[in-house]
Amino acid sequence: MKDIGIWIDKDNACIVILEKGKETIVWVPSNIEHYRIHGGSGTRLKGGPQDVVQDSRYLEREKHQLKNFFKEIIALVKDADALAIFGPAGTNEKFKKELATHYKYLDQKVVIVRKEDSMTDNQMKALVRDFYTAERASKK
């Protein structure tokens, strides 16, 4: 049985794979650009030149980068028997929504989506291991 836990945020994903008593951890960087909007008034004078900020362009680029990030993760977890998704912000919920929309066979394997703060590698391994241990104990 291949149980997988994913801790995901906008910067990277940590995939913990539990298979045949072994734990493997894989980090996937997101490569999502963090943009800072430059713009506003170029002068303090009223009616001076102003830059127009096109944040829709940045948001669209971010959306495409997020989709590519999700595709990388999905390629690594496509043969999972069970998926648990954790993360500190809304990225974990966006990932679940992407699975529900475009990857229904994987969406059916998701057992939980839960908010979790940042943690070390060992804490992530323990979180996933403890979750699946408790999950199996509750089914008996």
Q: Phi, psi at residue 37, to the nearest 5°?
A: -70, 125
- With 0.75 as the threshold, say if the pTM is over it: yes
Structure tokens at 56: 């829709």
Instruction: Give residue 136's pLDDT.
Output: 81
Interacting residues of 68 by C-beta distance below 8 A, sequence separation 6+: 31
Q: Number of helices and strands (H, E) in the chain?
A: 4, 7
Instruction: Give residue 139's pLDDT.
Output: 78
H or E stretch including 13? strand 12-19
CA 12 from chain center: how many Å? Answer: 7
CA distance 78 to 64: 21
> pLDDT tier at 55 (50, 70, 90 boundaries)?
confident
pLDDT tens, residue by residue, 14-43: 999 999 889 999 999 998 887 765 555 555
Instruction: Give residue 51's pLDDT.
Output: 57
The CATH classification number of 2-34+52-139 equals 3.30.420.60
